[in-house]
Amino acid sequence: MRALLPYLALYCRHKWLLALGVVLAIITLLASIGLLTLSGWFLSASAVVGVAGIYSFNYMLPAAGVRGGAITRTAGRYFERLVSHDATFRVLQHLRVSTFSRLLPLSPAGLARFRQGELLNRLVADVDTLDHLYLRVISPLVGAFVVIVVVTFGLSWLDLQLALTLGGILLATLVLLPPMFYYAGRSTGEAITVQRGQYRQQLTAWLQGHAELTIFGATKRYREQLDQTEDRWQEAQRRQAELTALSQAIMLLISGVAVILMMWMAAAGVGGNTTPGALIALFVFCALAAFEALAPVTSAFQHLGQVIASALRVTEITSQKPEVVFSQQSHAIPESVALEIRNLSFAYPEQTQMALRDVSLNVTAGQHVAILGRTGCGKSTLLQLLTRAWEPHQGEIRLNNEALSQFDETALRASTSVVSQRVHLFSATLRDNLLLAAPGAHDEALSHALTRVGLEKLLGDAGLNSWLGEGGRQLSGGELRRLAIARALLHDAPLFLLDEPTEGLDAETESQVLDLLAEVTKAKTVLMVTHRLRGLANFDNIIVMDNGQIIEQGNHADLMASGGRYYHFHQRL
């Protein structure tokens, strides 16, 4: 239960709206109980009056009470649903934002051991499950308790013994059954949460890797694993459904016993009246209606196991401490950037091989540096350390003669324009994806940036309102790359970190992009990772890396004259 405490704190943000939802739920339940109780008494009293030959009976007030109860129940149920779900959605909004804001500082170091499908499941499905805490646990439990107190108090005006008997049965049911079914369904709820996560993770992997699975003939085997996970998930759901049916059956049994007991006790007299007549029906129908308040409580506590399991899964991620901690003191954004890398060494978690080993490099302000080397030699890792995605194990990075760790995150991000290997696009409009780089940019600036990188055709039809879809799937690899470059141009920072900026471009477009970058970054500091040799003669310094180390560096002419690795790269063209 302690796992729910951090999430209960989020509910306090909307405590008045949530409390209003509980009050409306109580009003609705009391109106329903009053409607059935009054209707039963009214019909019975009318029948008794007719048999007894009594011709003076006030049917106007009971009839008005029945209509008032019906209207109150209908309106109360509508507004209770409206308020409760609105409050729950607001809580979920804050919960998602809070969870994502805690995940963001963990990326990538703290999230490296989690697969994408698993992260998505915890961020979406597990967070959504937490809304059961209010709708299926807190609200029904509080509502049932208040209804028991009000019904007992109201009936005590007619007969204290009958009121306490009915109230005692209701209270004992409320106290005993929910914990019993919570413990009975806890393992099942946990199994449903785990199996649901595994199934969605495996399904995501199957969809993403379907082509590879087909090529290697592993589709059938992987599909069998997926079916087995689905069978276990459905089996857990079946067990939960059986527990729900059992709880409902027990509730019906208790309510039946309570109704018979009320009928037997009321027949002996109500409030000293030995001929209670229609009052028997009043107590019987009140007992029937009162158990409506308890109906959702037992099944709700079965879902508590799911809620706690989901809370633990989310907390497992969000409770981690970030590997990289930024300074909390604001730092001025530099107009130009000089870099100094001293004896830098780094290895990825659970990897024995060093990604970088004793790397040292000086980059003066405005210098353009190209980084070459085989795949896996540490080029991209070096850029990631410059953005503080990871913390180096040894050595130091200094920016303008200050330790990189002294920069707060806002200043560091504002100082750096990054084009990464993998371009991330959101399922949103073209404008929204460009504004990520420059939130205050006007449409003219966005259109100009697209035109400069040769993507003016994207401005056709809907223009900047064009919907890119998930991951920009209708765009080619080259278009994605140029869109990333457009965002870097819009950000316009003094330091450009480019990781394969011309990957996927044809020779002509590559030349145009390189010329554009050379023009835009003329007075800026540039580090560009590349496998291509086009345009490197224009760079001030060229670094060749191998096995996590710098093995050559110099300008194009010097490296060609040395006859080393860079020279051999050119000979292979």
Q: What is the pLDDT of residue 52?
A: 52
- Using 70 as the pLDDT threshold, list the residues of the chain that sit under it: 1-3, 49-57, 116-117, 302, 471-473, 573
Q: At what angle do helices 139-156 and 160-208 cross, to 10 degrees?
A: 170
Q: What is the pLDDT of residue 1?
A: 62
Beta-sheet strand order (sheet of 402-403): 356-363, 339-346, 394-399, 402-403
Q: Which residues pair with 544 in a beta bridge?
A: 372, 552
Q: What is the pLDDT of residue 473?
A: 67
pLDDT tens digits, one per residue of 455-509: 888 887 778 888 887 766 677 888 888 899 999 999 989 999 999 888 888 888 8
Taking the chain, what is the end-to-end CA distance rounded to the nearest angstrom?
Answer: 65
pLDDT tens digits, one per residue of 316-331: 777 778 778 888 888 8
Residue recorded with tokens 């308890």: 294
Q: What is the pLDDT of residue 427?
A: 83
Q: What is the pLDDT of residue 338?
A: 92
Query: For 467, which DSSP code?
Result: B
Residue 520: burial class (beta carbons within 10 Å; 0-12, 13-18, 19+): middle
Q: Where are the beta strands (DSSP E) in 273-407?
A: 339-346, 356-363, 368-373, 394-399, 402-403
CA 166/CA 188 separation, integer angstroms: 33
Q: What is the pLDDT of residue 228?
A: 92
Could you tell me the domains of the chain? 2-318 (1.20.1560.10), 339-415+493-571 (3.40.50.300), 426-480 (no CATH)
Task: Say what the pTM is.
Answer: 0.72
